[in-house]
Amino acid sequence: MAAIQALATMGSSGMAAGARVAASAAQMLEYDDHEARNPNPNPNPNPNSNSNPNPNPNPKPIPNSNPIPNPNPNPIPNSNPNPNPNYEARSASIEALMRMGRIGAEASLPYLNSDMPRVRAAVLHIIEQLKLGNACNLVLGLLKDGNCLVREGAMRCLSSLTCRIAESDKAGVADGIVACFKEENALMREMALESLRGLGAESLLQHLDSCTGMLMDKESNVRVACIKAMRIVSESYKEIDSEEIASNVSLCLKDIDIEVRVEALKTMSFMGQNSAAYATNMGVCLDDESALVRKEAIKTLALMANRASVSGTNHNLS
């Protein structure tokens, strides 16, 4: 244990033995909990045999030889009465691998194929923290993992790598992310939209129809993530006809969730002339039951009125 903890402080100073050290640390990721389950295994499987060659001939207990009682009868509780040495070794190995940087991350990559879900999740965490962009295709495969926590870890990892993914890999990564729009897990659907947004407006535009369908998702957090994605497209592609986007987002002005209505108003304010046709719908939000929605409606309509006056166009914003 002390040895692997010492490895964590090694950093990049020992490049000569770095790969060997990283490989040894990575092996500890697969340490199981056998010791914790059997902290004191019986070395003698025969229960009838006497393991004590010198039994005590005096069965009577030895009296207390300490005449002074313990002045503090309440012992200090042990915060970890049954420490699991393998768990501690795994934790130390993860720390060591992350401190080794890229060499540690690459040493851990083979363990993405481990039979143990917690090992796959641990490697994903290492990749996420070290931003190892060239591992994106390996991570992409774990979006279909049989373990929900591993799939969530893979999506979080991809989200952190979006700015480091090569242009040649973006199309395949985007396709894998969009496939997760059908996940039963709402968190996965939300993170998928956020990850796709991280890939940029071009990837969003290529999958605009799939994104638009998520505006009808049953979970409000997913609908909010979808509206934010629509905003990226409107901001980045002002030259395209975003009337359809404005029409779909305007439907969210009547959403039952306050945050969805607020995000819809924010996004409509970025759609310029295309959103002006829905000024009446936004005006209804001035009487919304939520003060947050009313405040955002005022800001949005004021911004649109200012744009109209600058451009010389005449929109009915009343």
Mean pLDDT of 139-159: 93
pLDDT computed for residue 37 by the predictor: 40
The most confident of the ranges 64-73, 74-83, 123-132, 254-263 is: 254-263
d(CA 173, CA 139): 10
d(CA 260, CA 312): 31
Q: Is 300 exposed, middle or buried (0-12, 13-18, 19+ CB in 10 A)?
A: buried
pLDDT computed for residue 1 by the predictor: 45
Is 107 found in the same domain as 93? yes
Q: Which of 217, 239, 261 finishes a domain? A: 239
pLDDT bin (cut points 50, 70, 90) of residue 132 is confident
d(CA 37, CA 84): 9
Mean predicted lDDT score pLDDT of the chain: 78
Tokens standing for residue 129: 């923290």
Is 5 found in the same domain as 123? yes
> What CATH number does residue 164 fall under?
1.25.10.10
Q: Which of 204, 239, 274 finishes a domain? A: 239
Is 103 found in the same domain as 20? yes
pLDDT tens for residues 80-99? 544 566 677 777 778 878 88
pLDDT computed for residue 216 by the predictor: 94
Other Cβ atoms within 10 Å of 125 Cβ, number: 17
Mean pLDDT of 227-249: 78
Domain limits for position 97: 1-9+16-34+85-130
The answer on pLDDT for 210 being more than 60 is yes
pLDDT bin (cut points 50, 70, 90) of residue 311 is low
pLDDT computed for residue 195 by the predictor: 93
Q: Which of 222, 239, 256 finishes a domain? A: 239
How many distinct structural domains can be found in the chain? 3
Which CA distances in Å does 230 have to 60, 175, 216, 266, 297? 82, 18, 14, 11, 18
The pTM score is: 0.71
